[in-house]
Structure 1
Amino acid sequence: MEQTITRHGISIVAGPLKGARMTQQATTSATASRNSHGRPPGRLTPLLIMAALSVISACQSQEAGPETPIISEEALHEHIRILSSDDFQGRAPGTEGGQNTVAYLTRELEGLLLSPGNQGRYTQTVPMVETTLTQQPRLDIRLDQAAEEKSLEYGQDMMAWSPRQEETVRLEDSDLIFVGYGIVAPEYDWNDYEDMDVTGKTVVMLVNDPGFATGDEALFDGNTMTYYGRWTYKFEEAARQGAEGALLIHEDDAAGYGWSVVSGSWSGPQLYLAQEDDQPTLKMEGWISQGSAESLFNAQGLDLDTMKAASLEPEFAGHSLDGWASIELNNRFQHSESENVIAYLPGEKRPEETIIYTAHWDHLGVDPDDEDVIYNGAVDNASGSAAVLELARAFSEMEQAPDRSIVFLWVTAEEQGLLGSRYYAENPVFPLESTVAGINLDSMNFYGPTRDVTVVGYGNSELDQWLAATAEEQDRHLRPEPHPERGYFFRSDHFNLARKGVPVLYPNPGIDHVEGGEEYGRARQADYQENRYHQPADEYDPDWDLSGLAQDTRLLWRVGYELANSETFPNWAEDNEFRRIRDESRRNADGS
């Protein structure tokens, strides 16, 4: 049975048999709209994009382009086997294993008819710095109304750090201001900082966004986390507002994980880009536990739940907590370098316009407490790296290059905070205003072909229609991610392109296995998540059925090829948080 799924005003017909349908009227309109090359003209509506692509894929003429190339399962097996072998020592950035990985990718690219992506080189150097707290700091809070002081203990009550590359960072009696969700979102007519001056102060914020808290689809994006709900955005916005410190109130449901994840993730060494940019930076970033927040509010005669409810209204105004925060953070630094790997196929007609495939090559390295324990990262992400290598080979062997250029980018330090892709986004080799789209491959299918394709961030952009039409050629349909409230869209490398306005696709393996059905597919994914994800057990298995990975790689080849031979620039959905950025960058590119 078919169902029409609508998000952000974009509708896709999805069901057990087909991913995109078109009426006879739409087919006629699309045929009339095609240009002399059999390709859709620029700025098609989503429905016409689906229709035009369906017409093109059905056409057997030479104008429809080449047949989808063969993607070698044997080559995929070999790439994954090598990249996840013990010789690569878990592919940690800045290590011998990381250098071996870059060397392997570079050697493979040298054997293909592709151009080095960075001024004659296949690599882009990414400078990084590792920051380690030399003490367990204590956050002292002085309360005026309660005439008392509270000390929040590191690990138990709070986690705090400084993104500044300074040996000693201090907050001294910094005013505490509750700013609700800490969001400034023009497209939602929302500004938690309106008529407030938080310069030099410490803001206290809720995690996620008002849509999640209410489940109201008319408020932000309902249960689906927007970028404004992501903790990274909240720290960035607080810095833009002039604050010197920011504390997020942790809640398990709203964050999507427990306090142990917060305390574990933010203890020990933290890796940052060493490059200084023009972005403002907080002195202190941190989390406080829900219990600590409730205690802080209660001491001031306030109720956290009542303040949360007030924060759900657009007219919410920040509230002084009549308190001051003090902390000292002492840091030790270690500088290092790693590399992104870049190659490209120049376009025949519009080489300045690019489609970019991304995968992160890194993983977690070796357990520092046990040098014999290697985090090989076969699925995460030797599989995606292997698939992009096969895409690079397939495009390089075409008799005629597409109209637009195709870029292949393997980024470093994804596991350390998306650092390689962030560095590329801040220092793009190919201008982002003329980057048509990004397609990210991370943790691919290892259990055979499926009838569906999972889309993380489903409904965010018009790219879904390109993917749906191409999936239909494989008799497959699209499936939204199962937990959009957890913000997975913001946790892989495509996100750094998105935050610069570039529309991106983040497809994940399907669930409905061709032979075993959904129960089998869910069981395989659950087993990986519970027993192998980010564990030493994520190792290569020669018995893997990589026909599903080959199927997905062919699918993404076709999407990239069709985009490369079109004249349109797909955009984000009308109310998406990245649309405004994209529109501005395209206006700049057009000189308007």
Structure 2
Amino acid sequence: MRVASLLAGIGLFSLSAAAIAQQAEPVFTPEAVRAHVEFLSDDLLEGRDTGSKGYEIAARYVATRFEALGLKPAGENGGWYQQVGLQQTDPGANPGTVTVSGPAGEKSWAHATDVLVGLSAREPRLDVSAPLVFVGYGIENARLGLDDYRGLDVKGKIVVTLQGYPKGLPSEEGAHVSATKAEAAERHGAIGMVSIATLQSAKARPWEKIVHFADEPGFAWVSPDGKPNSSAPGIRASAMLNAPAAEAVFAGAPRTLARIRAEADKAGGKPKGFALKTSIRIQGESTTKRVTSPNVAAILPGSDPKLAAEYVVLSAHLDHIGLASAKPGDTAETDRINNGALDNAAGIATMLEVARAAAESPDKPRRSIIFLASTGEEKGLIGADYFARHPTVPADRIVGNVDLDMPLLLYPFTDVIAFGADHSSLGAMVAKAVAPMGVKLSPDPMPQEGIFTRSDHYMFVRQGVPAVFLATGFANGGEKAWGEFLSGNYHHPGDDMMQKIDWQAGARFAEANYRITRAMADADTPPLWIEGDFFGDTFAAGKQRAPKAGK
């Protein structure tokens, strides 16, 4: 071989190496994000309702994308799917009544008037009567200094609780203890629970909006013993009461409902409980059926011999709410398909693009990454709860979760929100990962909504896994876009491809999540709960901690 040819070959090799190095950074395109969203929100899928044919089509789409990327199946029996058995509970022919008896006599209300009767997944013919006890907010948590059951006997009785939690309580801790009221009532022997709005909750969610969902079915995953899962099976009956029924409950009480609500409306207000002079009868009928709907899961194996046995999870819910019920005046042309383009085809599209980039990267992640498309989020975070409790990998090896739910791709976002960021080292990890993009991490801009407990990541938190829910932020036009979407196309047929979606923002959101996922997967130390954190101490006692800021 001539020297000139050898040198030329070396030069060519050097150029090729440089070119490869330049191509190492993944590319995210608006077209790729749009293609995923376009398919998943197509009318053919009829809104991807849990257990529907449209959802099954969406699940197969995700599975084929995972397979095309060369990922490993992470479902059951070596497949892509983790089948989740569900019980669907629907209102029966007589959906229910609430009857209040006491000093003012007896009065009844039919379901969906001034009362809402909760569906009973375990009692198709519900008929429960018991004396009433007011228990304030109905919260019991020593760490937060709350013990609303102190001095009260509620065994065999039905408790009356105020909605929400005391003003001034940290929003995420408050949202958690509010979501676990039934469990507290069960611990004290109550057999039912009735909730009444505070002034604050009534303003946030007027009764007219709540009653709109009166006939929605209930869903629960089915446990191995064949029973529908319940966090508090001892609470046999439940109901929500509007003002007239709520006033009747407090007939003859030592304190009026108006005074109680006024106290609750003050910062730190914690109305004390007392036995009421009334009793209640809650009746209802329901029908049940069993359906199956899969989670779809894949693994990109880690490259580090020591860290590959640890798993980080990037999740997004695949389901939406299906077809809207026909209304008077609807015609054959009326659009009743809730396509769910942003909620949450956009989240799934983001996850798929992160999976593609990670699978194609010549520099493989150190930890293994699980990509999870969950079912039943709109029915109560069911698929994520099932996976978090029945993971297809060793539960103690799941070290972190980022969940993608409804990224609002309607404006060129410049910040992101990581709900739950203050509780673990994931907050700092997210902020550092997106900083090179000129994107900032912002605090929760709507703490009153209790979003921390309303998306799939919360189910990983309850299993002791540091987790955040990532969304586009309020800066650069985001606040206006969020306000208009939540009051307009959210859970409405208008959430479709006719919206002015900013596909470049979609590509940018995918890049941000790739950076975050790789940060979790490649760090020497996995995500850790911060020392002294409420959720870490509640669900992950004894595990390694990250120091508080400034230490």
Say whether the fold is shared (TM-score over 0.5): yes
Change (3 A) 1:431 1:480: same
- How many Å separate the matches in 2 of 1:297 and 1:455? 41
CA RMSD of aligned residues (A): 2.8
Please say if residues 347 and 406 of structure 1, whose CA atoms lie closer than 8 Å, have aligned partners that are also in contact: yes
Equivalent position SS for 2:27: coil
- How many Å separate the matches in 2 of 1:435 and 1:339? 20
Q: Which moved more, 1:435-444 or 1:345-354?
A: 345-354
Please say if residues 209 and 226 of structure 1, whose CA atoms lie closer than 8 Å, have aligned partners that are also in contact: yes
148, 164, 183: which is aligned to 2:105?
148
Task: Name the residue aligned to 2:519.
Answer: 562
Change (3 A) 1:86 1:325: same
Counterpart mapping for 1:206-225 below 5 A: 206-210=162-166, 212=167, 216=168, 220-221=169-170
- How many Å separate the matches in 1 of 2:118 and 2:481? 38
Change (3 A) 1:498 1:290: farther
Please say if residues 220 and 230 of structure 2, whose CA atoms lie closer than 8 Å, have aligned partners that are also in contact: no
Q: CA deviation at 1:452?
A: 1.6
Task: Name the residue aligned to 2:182.
Answer: 235
205, 209, 214: which is aligned to 2:161?
205
Matched residue type, 1:330: E
Q: Are positions 1:133 and 2:91 aligned together?
A: yes
Task: Name the residue aligned to 2:146.
Answer: 190
Q: Are positions 1:249 and 2:206 aligned together?
A: no
Task: Name the residue aligned to 1:100.
Answer: 57
- How many Å separate the matches in 2 of 1:170 and 1:393? 53
Q: CA deviation at 1:445?
A: 3.7
- How many Å separate the matches in 2 of 1:352 and 1:199? 47
Q: CA deviation at 1:400?
A: 4.1
73, 76, 92: which is aligned to 2:30?
73
Change (3 A) 1:103 1:224: closer
Task: Name the residue aligned to 1:535.
Answer: 492
Q: Are positions 1:87 and 2:44 aligned together?
A: yes
Q: CA deviation at 1:286?
A: 1.8
Change (3 A) 1:449 1:307: closer
- How many Å separate the matches in 1 of 2:434 and 2:60? 34
Structure 1 unaligned spans of 5+: 1-64, 588-592
Please say if residues 355 and 436 of structure 1, whose CA atoms lie closer than 8 Å, have aligned partners that are also in contact: yes
298, 301, 304: which is aligned to 1:343?
298
Change (3 A) 1:538 1:151: same
Q: Are positions 1:261 and 2:209 aligned together?
A: yes
Change (3 A) 1:407 1:329: same
Q: CA deviation at 1:138?
A: 1.6
Please say if residues 403 and 457 of structure 2, whose CA atoms lie closer than 8 Å, have aligned partners that are also in contact: yes
Please say if residues 128 and 338 of structure 1, whose CA atoms lie closer than 8 Å, have aligned partners that are also in contact: yes
Task: Name the residue aligned to 1:398.
Answer: 361
Change (3 A) 1:450 1:315: closer
Please say if residues 137 and 270 of structure 2, whose CA atoms lie closer than 8 Å, have aligned partners that are also in contact: no
Q: CA deviation at 1:585?
A: 7.0
462, 475, 498: which is aligned to 2:461?
498
Equivalent position SS for 1:481: coil
169, 175, 178: which is aligned to 2:134?
178
TM normalised by structure 1 equals 0.79
Q: Are positions 1:586 and 2:543 aligned together?
A: yes
Equivalent position SS for 2:45: helix
Task: Name the residue aligned to 1:417.
Answer: 380
Matched residue type, 1:280: A
Task: Name the residue aligned to 2:81.
Answer: 123
Equivalent position SS for 2:510: helix
Task: Name the residue aligned to 2:547.
Answer: none
Q: CA deviation at 1:501?
A: 2.2
Counterpart mapping for 1:273-284 below 5 A: 273-275=221-223, 276=227, 277=229, 279-281=231-233, 282-284=235-237
Equivalent position SS for 1:299: coil
Q: CA deviation at 1:448?
A: 4.6
- How many Å separate the matches in 2 of 1:122 and 1:409? 10
Q: CA deviation at 1:171?
A: 0.7
Map Cα deviations across residues 60-81 of structure 1 (whole Å, 9 max, x no partner): xxxxx99642223221111111
Matched residue type, 1:531: G
Matched residue type, 1:323: T
Counterpart mapping for 1:374-453 below 5 A: 374-453=337-416
Please say if residues 209 and 228 of structure 1, whose CA atoms lie closer than 8 Å, have aligned partners that are also in contact: no
- How many Å separate the matches in 2 of 1:474 and 1:171? 58
Please say if residues 225 and 487 of structure 1, whose CA atoms lie closer than 8 Å, have aligned partners that are also in contact: no
Sequence identity percentage = 29
Task: Name the residue aligned to 1:465.
Answer: 428
- How many Å separate the matches in 1 of 2:473 and 2:104? 57
- How many Å separate the matches in 1 of 2:185 and 2:396? 27
Please say if residues 473 and 479 of structure 2, whose CA atoms lie closer than 8 Å, have aligned partners that are also in contact: no
TM normalised by structure 2 equals 0.84
- How many Å separate the matches in 2 of 1:428 and 1:585? 21
Map Cα deviations across residues 230-280 of structure 1 (whole Å, 9 max, x no partner): 3x3222322333311001112362363111232222324322223335843
Q: CA deviation at 1:399?
A: 2.4
Q: CA deviation at 1:396?
A: 1.2
Task: Name the larger-Rg structure.
Answer: 2
Equivalent position SS for 1:188: coil
Equivalent position SS for 2:541: helix
Q: CA deviation at 1:522?
A: 3.5
Change (3 A) 1:321 1:542: closer
Matched residue type, 2:246: A
- How many Å separate the matches in 1 of 2:524 and 2:187? 36
Matched residue type, 1:233: T
Equivalent position SS for 2:120: coil
Map Cα deviations across residues 493-519 of structure 1 (whole Å, 9 max, x no partner): 112112222221212113333xxxx3x
Q: Which moved more, 1:162-171 or 1:93-102?
A: 162-171
Equivalent position SS for 1:91: coil
Map Cα deviations across residues 451-500 of structure 1 (whole Å, 9 max, x no partner): 22233345343311111112221122222232201112221111211222
Matched residue type, 2:195: L
324, 329, 340: which is aligned to 2:284?
329
Q: CA deviation at 1:367?
A: 2.8
Matched residue type, 2:487: E
